[in-house]
Amino acid sequence: ADETAVTPSSRPSRPRPSTGSGRPAAAQQNAQQQDQVSAAQQQVADAKDSLDQANTGVQDAQQGVDQAQQQVDQAQQNVQQAQQNVENTINQNQNVQQATNGVQQAQDSLDQAHDNLQQAKAKANQAAQNADRLEKAMNDSQSIRDDAAKAKAKADKEAQEAQAKVDATDKTKLDQDTAYKKAAAAKAQAKADEAQQAADKAQSKADEAKAKLDEATRLAGDANDPAKVKEAQDAARKAGEAVDAARKSQAEATVAAATRRPPPNRPSRGRPGAEETRPGER
């Protein structure tokens, strides 16, 4: 009902006229209230009809959604079936199988080439380490040659000093000491020459090892050719052998340098009480 309707209890009391003129006014008011109630009832009925229509629309929409979902499910099944058909066709196709096998073989070849490359890099690294050792051996050989040159210079100086002391003695002692000190100087010179030869031999071996190492490094650059890889491995092995030979020559030069000292001093046979003269004495 309309909230604006005035009920008899809420209507203000008014004094009733003594005449009968109040009845038409009350009837008119009741008619208005009845119209308002009827209008409200019609609005409620209209709203209910609208709600029913809305519910019907919701149900129709839900049915449409269900049908669409069923169509989606069916389409998904169709797609899966089509994919399965494609896979079956691929698996049953001999050309596809051959192509797949070819791809796998190519991948295996690629993996093998990669392994060969890694091995070649390892060989190259080993060759570089051999080069470092070879360089050290060459430096050691140079040091040995320097020591040999110093030993020769020292032997020459000792020979000169011995000769000077020989010149300062008498004729008899001079003849004896001269022969001895010349022999000592000759031995010192021979030891110096031997040390120089050993140093030259070590240098030659080092140069040979360096050449073989360069060849191994050059051959190791082509890691995709098995024959080249084999040659690089052989060259690296030969370079290692050359390094060992250089080290052996270096050791021989070191031994020669260590044994290049003159023989023990021989006492002079001068007159009794005379001072002894030694080759290294200043």
171 and 241 inside one domain = yes
Instruction: Report if residue 211 sits inside a domain.
Output: yes
Name the range with the highest mean pLDDT among 102-116, 228-242, 254-268: 102-116
| Segment 107-126 mean pLDDT | 86
- Pick the range with the lowest mean pLDDT from 6-15, 120-129, 198-207: 6-15
- pLDDT per position as a tens digit, 204-256: 877 777 777 777 777 666 656 677 667 767 776 776 677 677 667 666 666 66
**The domain containing residue 191 runs over which residues?**
116-258
| Range 163-182 average pLDDT | 72
The pLDDT assigned to 225 comes to 67
- As for how many domains the chain has, the answer is 2
Q: Determine the pLDDT at residue 267.
A: 45
**Do residues 165 and 234 both lie within one domain?**
yes
Specify the pLDDT at position 277. 44
Q: What is the pLDDT of residue 174?
A: 66
Residues 52, 122, single domain; the answer is no
Q: What tokens were used for 246?
A: 């250089």
pLDDT surpasses 70 at 125: yes
**Quick check: is 17 in a domain?**
no
Question: Same structural domain for residues 145 and 246?
Answer: yes
pLDDT digits (tens, 9 = 90+) for 140-167: 777 877 887 888 888 888 888 887 776 6
pTM (predicted TM-score) = 0.29
Position 261 scores a pLDDT of 52
For 8-65, the pLDDT digits (tens) are 444 444 545 444 455 678 888 888 888 888 888 899 988 888 888 888 888 888 888 9
